[in-house]
Structure formats: C-alpha cells, structure tokens
C-alpha cells in the first residue's frame, strides 16, 4: 500500500489516541489484583487495546499513523503499568518490533508490517532458550524442506506472545548463522505454553513456545542484527519499556496505599491520632512512597526524551550524531533502571507500614507489587549496569553501551 493511500485512510490522531488511554487504564485496573490471585491471563485487556488502536501510537504520520513520540509511548506504558503491570510488560515485543520497522530500511520480511500494525495486529516473540551453556545461545534450527523451511525448537520468555497475532523467533540456519523468523502465531506447529512460573509478572505469558516442524516461507526470515544502530536503539527502548512498566507498579503502590488508608487502616498503637489519615507515621510513609514514585517517573521521562533525541538523529542521517545519541540514551536508561532498583522495591515494602497484620491479607494482594517490581528488575543485570556507568564516567569506556543487548 502506498504512503499516499495510507494518508487518505488515516486512523485516529495522536491526540485522539492519547485521550483514549485513561479510560483504557481505568477498565483494566478493575479486578487486576484478583486476576493476579487467580492467575487469569488478561486476554480482554488486549482485545480492548487492539480495538482502541493503541498499538499504532509510534507509526509516523507519513505512514498513516498518529506519529506519537517515544515519550508518548513510554508514558502510556507507565500509565498502563499503574493499572496492571502485566499488561504493560507484555506489550514490549510489540513496540520493539514497531520501532525496528519504522527506523529500518524496508526489508522483505517486514513487507506490509505497517499496514498490519495499523489494522490492530500485535507482535510478540521469543528468542531465549533454557538449558544452554550461556545466555543468548540458540539451539532452535531451521532447515530447507523443498521450497520452504521447517523450524524446530523450544523457546522461553515468550512475553506477550499468547496475546499477539505474530511472533518473531531466532534460529540457526544450515550454515550455523542466527536468523530471525516472523510468523503468525496460529501457524500449525506453533504451540504457546502457559507455563511461566515466576513469582511476579505472573500474567505476562512469559513462559515457553514449542516449535514443532513449523513451515516457514522464504519471505518470513532474515539475518538478525543486534549491534547495528537501529538494533542498539531498540535494545535501549526495550530496557526503558521494562522500567516504565515497573514505574507504573510503583504508582500502583501509592494508589493502593492511599485507598487502604482511607478504607480500613487504623492509626498506630502509639499514635495520638484518632484516624489513620491523621497519623503522622502513616503520612510519612505515604509521603516517602510519593517522592520515590516521582523520582522514578522523572528519570523515566528523562530517558524517554533521550530516546526521542536518538530518533531525531536517525532522521538527520548523520552517523556520528546517531552514535552520540545512542550512547546518551543507553546511559540515561541504565541510570533510570538503577534509580528504580533502589526506590521501587523499597516503596513496595514500605507500603506494609501503613497497617498491621490486615495489610498482609491475601484479599488485598499487596505483595504483588513487590513481586512484580522485583521480577522486572531481575530481567536486568543491575550490578553490571552500575559498573558500566561508573566505567564510562571514570574512563569514557563505551564497550558494553554499544553491544545492543542489555543497554
């Protein structure tokens, strides 16, 4: 479809899409704590997300989309995370794929991708495998079978794939080269396993995918690259998406804490206050959590702006300018994750100071916030990141900032 045709069939504007987010988050917030208790996957949330067209936010105006910025998208993810961090987290592969498509030169395997996104299709994927000697190793294989190919293997961390229409997978071809494959999830032989057993983010469908003799057509795979400029930008974007999801969970700590105090909390035994909302101990905890959430949100917003500057650098086409912007955005995102790592779990733990034993009731399910934040943080080697940031500041070292994996 030509750009001209796309422009004559334009969907919602950026402003219209952003205006839909509050109603969406209010809807998915209903029953979020109970869904976590019951381990009920949020399929309805993703149906509504498609219906509202929110997955199109990053498609440029020139391609028929609303033209939302990275800052718009990251704030949307944080807002969704404040309602249900599972839903926010499970959208990461979708927006990673969209970002890659809109910044890359047209590729055969992405043909029609923009049209699919504008039609409401969602993208997932799984590349990690369990049981390998080191992280990142791939044993899944793709071999020629007549005019097509056959894909076999088992993937893990298939976050969001159960809710998606298409998914990407990595595999080794017959020459031992790593390739990426993009397939519809309803292709025969693709089996999504609901076997994620993490203590947190329990509803992200982050378990396995079994690939059994899946037919793959030539236009559906291409050589993967993580260390090219677009790949590095998307790596940083994926990291900030995780941080935004957890930032939303911290916002949820605050809203749940306020609701609990107003609904049922009692003043502390040694307090002179008659009610919990007048108790200085309770007020102090609420103030601390609010300050932590503000600091995390501010860091996330600053990192999103750094990523927007990287996108602008891509538009100018100056490789030196792109390189500088990519390093800056990787540093900003790593610092954000380190701030989150310090303040996020503390906020979720401090919440229990708002009440006595009743605050630990399973009916409240307040522990999900700590579990969810801690699980998101375990996706990132924070000790490594703090060391890399320190090495950069002391010595100007950029080696790991350029690897296109966890920065």
321 and 313 Cβ atoms separated by less than 8 Å? yes
Mean pLDDT lowest for which of 98-107, 222-231, 327-336, 357-366? 222-231
Sign for the CA dihedral angle at 96, 76, 41, 344 comes to positive
pLDDT-derived band at 7 (thresholds 50, 70, 90) equals: very low
Q: Which residues have CB under 8 Å from 101's CB, separation 6+?
A: 110, 113, 114, 117
- Residue-wise DSSP of 313-370: HHHHT-HHHHHHHHHHHHHHHHHHHHHHHHHHHHHHHHGGGGSSGGGG-TTTTTHHHH
Q: What is the pLDDT of residue 21?
A: 98
Closest CA to 22 of 83, 70, 67: 83
Q: Which domains does the chain have, with CATH numbers?
A: 3-122 (1.10.540.10), 141-223 (2.40.110.10), 229-402 (1.20.140.10)
Question: pLDDT tens digit string along 286-324?
Answer: 999 999 999 999 999 999 999 999 999 999 999 999 999
Query: Vertex 64, ends 60 and 68: CA angle to 5°?
Result: 35
pLDDT-derived band at 225 (thresholds 50, 70, 90) equals: low
pLDDT-derived band at 4 (thresholds 50, 70, 90) equals: very low
- The 3-state secondary structure of 139-167, one letter per residue: CCEEEEECCEEEEEEEEECCCCHHHCCEE
HSE (side-chain half, CA atoms, 13 Å) at 234: 22
Q: Which residue has the higher pLDDT, 226 or 399?
A: 399
Q: What is the pLDDT of residue 144?
A: 96
Over range 378-403, report the average pLDDT: 95
d(CA 151, CA 76): 35
- Over the range 48-61, which residues count as b (16 or more CB within 10 Å of their CB) and which as e? bbbebbbbbbbbbe
What SS3 state is found at 256? helix
Q: What is the pLDDT of residue 168?
A: 95
pLDDT surpassing 80 at residue 25: yes
Q: What is the DSSP letter of 202?
A: T
pLDDT-derived band at 402 (thresholds 50, 70, 90) equals: very high
Q: What is the pLDDT of residue 358?
A: 87
Strand partners, 192: 209
HSE (side-chain half, CA atoms, 13 Å) at 184: 7
Strand partners, 142: 151
pLDDT surpassing 50 at residue 273: yes
d(CA 284, CA 217): 60
pLDDT-derived band at 223 (thresholds 50, 70, 90) equals: low
222 and 179 Cβ atoms separated by less than 8 Å? yes
Percent of the chain at pLDDT above 70? 96
Q: What is the pLDDT of residue 5?
A: 40
In whole angstroms, how far apart are CA 328 and each of 7, 27, 319, 337, 389?
A: 34, 36, 14, 14, 11
Query: Vertex 228, ends 225 and 230: CA angle to 5°?
Result: 100
Percent of the chain at pLDDT above 90? 83
Sign for the CA dihedral angle at 27, 361, 248, 200 comes to negative
Helix (H) or strand (E) holding 213: strand 209-216
Question: pLDDT tens digit string along 330-384?
Answer: 999 999 999 999 999 999 999 999 988 888 999 999 999 999 999 999 988 899 9
Q: What is the pLDDT of residue 8?
A: 43
Q: What is the pLDDT of residue 235?
A: 96
pLDDT surpassing 90 at residue 405: no
Mean pLDDT lowest for which of 3-17, 200-214, 355-369? 3-17
Q: What is the pLDDT of residue 362?
A: 94
What SS3 state is found at 126? strand
Q: How many CB atoms lie within 10 A of CB 405?
A: 15
Q: What is the pLDDT of residue 108?
A: 62
Mean pLDDT lowest for which of 60-69, 143-152, 351-360? 351-360
Over range 28-53, report the average pLDDT: 98
Strand partners, 191: 210
Q: What is the pLDDT of residue 78?
A: 98
Mean pLDDT lowest for which of 102-116, 354-368, 385-399? 102-116
Q: What is the DSSP letter of 128?
A: B
- Residue-wise DSSP of 175-197: TS-EEEEEEETTSTTEEE-----
- Structure-block tokens of residue 308: 């927007």
- Structure-block tokens of residue 38: 């019951």
d(CA 251, CA 387): 28
d(CA 111, CA 115): 9
Closest CA to 209 of 239, 246, 167, 254: 167
Q: What is the pLDDT of residue 3?
A: 33
pLDDT surpassing 50 at residue 285: yes
276 and 284 Cβ atoms separated by less than 8 Å? no
pLDDT surpassing 50 at residue 163: yes
Question: pLDDT tens digit string along 116-146?
Answer: 999 999 999 999 998 888 877 899 999 999 9
Q: Which residue has the higher pLDDT, 252 or 226?
A: 252
298 and 289 Cβ atoms separated by less than 8 Å? no
Q: What is the pLDDT of residue 226?
A: 63
């Amino acid at each position: 479809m030509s750009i001209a045709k796309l422009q004559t069939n334009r969907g919602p504007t950026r402003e219209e899409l952003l205006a839909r987010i509050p109603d969406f988050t209010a809807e998915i917030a209903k029953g979020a704590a109970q869904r976590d208790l019951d381990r009920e996957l949020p399929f309805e949330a993703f149906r509504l997300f498609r219906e509202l067209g929110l997955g199109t936010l990053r498609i440029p105006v020139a391609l028929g989309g609303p033209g939302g910025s990275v800052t718009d998208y990251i704030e949307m993810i944080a807002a969704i995370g404040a309602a249900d961090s599972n839903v926010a987290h499970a959208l990461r592969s979708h927006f990673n794929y969209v970002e890659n498509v809109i910044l890359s030169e047209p590729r055969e395997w992405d043909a029609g991708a923009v049209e699919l996104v504008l039609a409401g299709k969602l993208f997932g994927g799984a590349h990690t495998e369990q049981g390998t000697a080191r992280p990142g190793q791939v044993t899944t294989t793709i071999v020629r079978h007549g005019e097509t190919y056959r894909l076999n293997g088992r993937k893990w961390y298939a976050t969001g794939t159960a809710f998606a229409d298409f998914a990407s997978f990595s595999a080794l071809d017959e020459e031992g080269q790593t390739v990426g494959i993009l397939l519809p999830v309803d292709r025969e032989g693709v089996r999504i396993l609901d076997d994620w057993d993490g203590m947190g983010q329990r509803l992200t469908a982050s378990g396995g995918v079994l690939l059994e003799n899946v037919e793959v057509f030539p236009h559906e795979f291409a050589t993967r690259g993580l260390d090219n400029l677009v790949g590095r930008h998307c790596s940083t974007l994926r990291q900030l998406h995780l941080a935004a999801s957890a930032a939303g969970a911290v916002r949820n700590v605050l809203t749940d804490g306020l609701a609990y105090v107003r609904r049922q909390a009692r003043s502390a035994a040694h307090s002179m206050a008659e009610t919990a909302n007048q108790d200085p101990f309770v007020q102090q905890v609420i103030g601390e959590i609010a300050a932590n959430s503000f600091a995390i949100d501010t860091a996330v917003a600053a990192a999103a702006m750094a990523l927007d500057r990287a996108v602008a650098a891509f538009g100018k086409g100056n490789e030196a300018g792109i390189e500088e912007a990519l390093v800056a955005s990787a540093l900003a995102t790593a610092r954000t994750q380190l701030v989150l790592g310090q303040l996020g779990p503390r906020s979720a733990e401090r919440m229990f100071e708002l009440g006595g034993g009743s605050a630990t009731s399973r009916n409240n399910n307040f522990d999900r916030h700590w579990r969810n934040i801690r699980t998101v943080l375990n996706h990132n080697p924070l000790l490594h990141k703090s060391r890399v940031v320190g090495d950069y500041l002391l010595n100007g070292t950029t080696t790991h900032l350029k690897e296109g994996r966890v920065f």
